[in-house]
Structure 1
Amino acid sequence: MCDPFIRNHQYNFIKKQADSLLNAIRTNADSKVLASLRYFTETKLDELFPLATEEQKQMLNRISTLEKTDEFQYYIKSLEPYIVGFPQATEKQLLKLFPKNKKLKIPDLSTIDHRYVTYLSWMDIATNKLFMVYHANGQFIGIEGRATPTNKKSFCFVCNRYEELVLFSATSKIRPPKSSPDYYKTVGNYLCMNSADCNKNISDISALEKFIESVNG
């Protein structure tokens, strides 16, 4: 048995590929189309896990051999022990990320299944602030910003799903050379109001990491 190696967004990506394959089978897709889709799926998983061992590749690529609904369900379930959970942070560690917020309330971390988390996020309704925590290069990264409800559904910039959104606006820490002491730049984008749903849907972290970089540098 190999060690955990699948991150949450990768697990979600695999589930999407499985759904696409199963849908093609259910709709009696042409055999050539189905064969092409199976090959495409294998190729995508190879690209998603470029450092995978031979054992890991064999485990993942079983997806291209599946035929029935229960086989797909069992396959997805069998991958759960190999999910790498979001690193568990203490309340003290999270508070250190937002030192200016002396009365910040941290969510109950014991209720969170860290296997299915790509980023942590919570709202402070009193101040209309949203707090986001990401983990990269061995450290936690904290971003805070204004959360403005949109009262409508559209596509989230993180998970690209049609959900209830807030406009998340954060002040960038990046300052141009010789900029005025009063200089500031706000970076904003539309984010799922419910971070749990967003974490269930996210299958690509590039937009999220680009946003974090635009804020923190």
Structure 2
Amino acid sequence: MSAPFIRNHQFNVIKKQADFIQKTLRTAADRSVLETVRYRSVVNITEAFPDLTQDQKKLFEEITTLETANDFQRYLNALEPYMEPYPPITVKQIQKLFPKNKKLKVPDLGSIDFRYTTYLSWVDIATSRLFIVYPFEGKFIGIEGRITPTHKKGYCLFCNRHQELAYFSVRTKSAFASPDNFSSVGHYVCMDNQACNQCITASGSLEKFILSVSK
């Protein structure tokens, strides 16, 4: 068996393509349309992976042979052993990322399925603060900021799905002012962070934002 190589956001790509093929199976009478969708789905999946071995490519090509909902579910279940989980992290490590927050409330790490986690996050309701911990190049980056519900729907910066949003504002040192001056960088993100992790299909926007506010 191949070593784990599928990250959560990549697994979400596979699930999305599996759903698309199933919908086409239910609605398209023309088999040529179905074959086109199957081919395009494999292309979309492989494009989500920068480097694939021939065996890994063959594993993804199997999706073109599936016909029933049970077939697709069995296929997704069979991919789970290949999933690369979020790196191990302890409460102490998280606390060190936020040294100024002496009363930091850390979530129950034992209750989290880290296979399906692209970024670890939680909200401190008492202070309206959102905390994010993201693994990058062998280390963890922690950011925090104010989270304000908008009570409106729109597109989340991280997962790009249309959902109820909150405005996430992070205080950061201004690049164009003295070291003592600060500015705020903000974006609209999902109110439901868990659902965001279940839908995110690329890490680029998330990484860009985190790196921009953690300098």
Partner residue, 2:23: 23
Query: Structure 1 173/34 Cα, relative in aligned 2: closer, same or farther at 3 Å?
Result: farther
CA distance in 2, matches of 1:189, 1:96: 25
8 Å Cα contact 2:134-2:142 kept in structure 1: yes
User: Displacement of 1:128 after TM fit?
Assistant: 1.2
CA distance in 2, matches of 1:157, 1:51: 26
Partner residue, 2:214: 216
CA distance in 1, matches of 2:81, 2:170: 36
Aligned residue pairs, count: 215
Matched, 1:62 2:62: yes
CA distance in 2, matches of 1:50, 1:98: 33
User: Displacement of 1:28 after TM fit?
Assistant: 2.1
Partner residue, 1:128: 128
Partner residue, 1:37: 37
Alignment root-mean-square deviation, CA: 1.5
CA distance in 2, matches of 1:120, 1:29: 43
8 Å Cα contact 1:174-1:215 kept in structure 2: no
User: Displacement of 1:174 after TM fit?
Assistant: 5.6
8 Å Cα contact 2:173-2:179 kept in structure 1: no
Which residues in structure 2 correspond to 1:40-119 (within 5 Å)? 40-119=40-119
8 Å Cα contact 1:172-1:186 kept in structure 2: yes
Partner residue, 1:192: 190
Give the ranges of 4+ consecutive aligned residues of structure 1 lying more than 6 Å apart after TM superposition. Answer: none
Query: Structure 1 191/185 Cα, relative in aligned 2: closer, same or farther at 3 Å?
Result: same
User: Displacement of 1:205 after TM fit?
Assistant: 1.1
| 1:13-55 deviation per Cα after TM superposition (whole angstroms, max 9, x unaligned) | 1000011111111102422222221221122222222322221
Structure 1: which 5+ residue stretches go unaligned?
none
Query: Structure 1 149/55 Cα, relative in aligned 2: closer, same or farther at 3 Å?
Result: same
Specify the SS of the correspondent of 1:172. strand
Q: Percent identity?
A: 53
Letter in structure 1 aligned against 2:204: S
Q: TM-score, normalised by structure 1?
A: 0.93
CA distance in 2, matches of 1:16, 1:82: 17
User: Displacement of 1:101 after TM fit?
Assistant: 0.3
Q: TM-score, normalised by structure 2?
A: 0.94
| 1:171-215 deviation per Cα after TM superposition (whole angstroms, max 9, x unaligned) | 234623xx2344322111111122111111111111111111221
Specify the SS of the correspondent of 2:76. helix
CA distance in 2, matches of 1:141, 1:61: 35
Specify the SS of the correspondent of 2:182. coil
8 Å Cα contact 1:174-1:214 kept in structure 2: no
Partner residue, 1:206: 204
CA distance in 1, matches of 2:128, 2:161: 23
